[in-house]
Structure 1
Amino acid sequence: MDQRTELSEFLRSRRARLQPEDVGLAHHGGRRRVPGLRREELAQLAGVSVAYYIRLEQGRGLNVSAAVLDAISDVLRLTPAERSHLAHLARPASRRLRTAPRTQQVRPAVQALMDTMEGVPAYVVGRRLDILGWNRLARALLGDFAAMPADERNTAWLVFLDPATRELYADWEDKASAVVAFLRRDVGRYPGDPRLCALIGELSAKSADFRRIWADHDVRDKNFGGKRMRHPVVGPLSLAYETLTLPADPDQQLVTYHAEPGSASALALRELARRAAEPVCSPRRRAERASAAP
């Protein structure tokens, strides 16, 4: 990914969100040629020269201090995730971590932990939103990860290119927006990751929805919240999710789902767990059972 372009488009998109009155500037009426704050207005509020800010927005190799980035972030009202993203994008090329450092694998102890969580869907997601590990109930809830090709075992690929996954999420647009914001975060951290660039290229080529949402330049970190699902086996589900960063690898996160105790979703999740725990029979074994039945 071209970091100069990413930096320029990110700053312009954040300026466009704000109006002068949002940051205490008087609006003198009349039609503004561009939406949002002007460059000179942002520079004034951040305490830097207009020329300096223009060079920064154009990504022209400045070694920007943390104080200046903080001032610009304050004016633009950036979230913590957006502040971190800006800091990565503004970092000089010589100091950027341009490639993902290593292949990610789930530690055996983490996989064993997930396997013990028989009533809780749990999976581990890594860089690029690759799905690295899962337990039986996550597989029953979200899809048969084990049967997927490795390059499709990715949350973004599934959300935008797999019809079954799209149908699973009742609030698909919210899910899609979050997924794109997570990918945008990784672009700032690993701009030279060839697999990330290939994934974004494929999604851009095959999904108009991805192209539309990608143009918003939103950035988020995974945390917690709720999801409404339409499961093909047990029906509607309202689930809460939690995201826990694994200390041995901050690029890996354990995601779990749970339902409110006593709710219809809790009963449905329990039924899904029961079905997932049933042994898988081969076609021959199923035929033998059927012939033996009275």
Structure 2
Amino acid sequence: MQSTWITRRAMLRMAAATAASISLPAMAQLGGGKKPLRVIVGSAAGGAADVIVRAMGPGIAAELKVPVVVDNRPGGQSVISLEALAAQPADGNTLLYIHSGYVATEVTQRLFDLDKSTIPLTRVGTSRIMLLVGGDSPFGSLGEMFDFARANPGKLHYGTLGDGGFEHLKMAQITTAAGVVATPVPYKTGTDAIKDLIGGSVDCYMAPAIFAKMYIPPKRVKALAIFDPQRWSDFPEVPTLREAGIEVDPLRYWGGYVARVGMPPEIVQRLSSMLGRVARLPEVRERFEGTGQEVDVEDDPEKFRSQIQGDKAWIIDAYRLIRT
């Protein structure tokens, strides 16, 4: 309850400060003054989000002609990072990097409202998702795995990153579509989940593509399906979920930048376009690939907002499944 109260208080501060934050001096200052651009990251230094933001930092600094400061604010189920954004003026000098997990947390924990507190700017990257099993798993296809689950209700175990997280919600949707009952096993990190998958302690795990690239070649894991609408040229033998008979919408992990609500439209457009240009730089693209993501730019703020709302819609439906 305390976190909810703090977030509401922060939103009231935002509303009170909005009029002052949209002044012409603020617009002139963006890129023209000496105030650094601050980018808040809701995870610790060294994680994928942090690597991406730091990779884009030099390009952003060159575009705006100001230093870029990365401010890591992990913890608090993303509330800490959102409150750090809310405490700053809506002048374009402070941004927040969010990812698909923020939407799941918004729906399941109800600690914040992204639509009321932020303005989407630019999605900069996405990551393919694959359903993996251990290299020694008896399952050679999604059909075989779900046949086992139908014959043994509750005995198929899948890894998740916490109760009610992005993976838990999507797997609930998939198992419901397949007509099976399976048991989620929560992990703190994807690395922990993969370790148990390889060791045979968990049957399958919905994982970002970087794990497939790391562990399929040495045959430590196998991929049963990809969550994209088409097959992937890197692993052309792996079918899509729909090809495997599971009628759910395709899905990717994504990451992008938002600003505090109340920012003037002129600054929104300028920042959105600039972030898209920087993400497409060759040196940035290379760093993205090192985290398992691809540069996948959506620099129309309204289209980015629509994607966030689309994720929210399926997550609300999936959350009902795990709570019934």
Task: Calculate the TM-score normalised by the size of structure 1.
Answer: 0.26
Q: Structure 1 or 2: larger helix share?
A: 1
Q: Structure 1 or 2: larger strand share?
A: 2
Q: Which has the larger radius of gyration?
A: 1
Task: Calculate the TM-score normalised by the size of structure 2.
Answer: 0.25
RCO higher in 1 or 2 (8 Å CA, sep ≥ 6)? 2
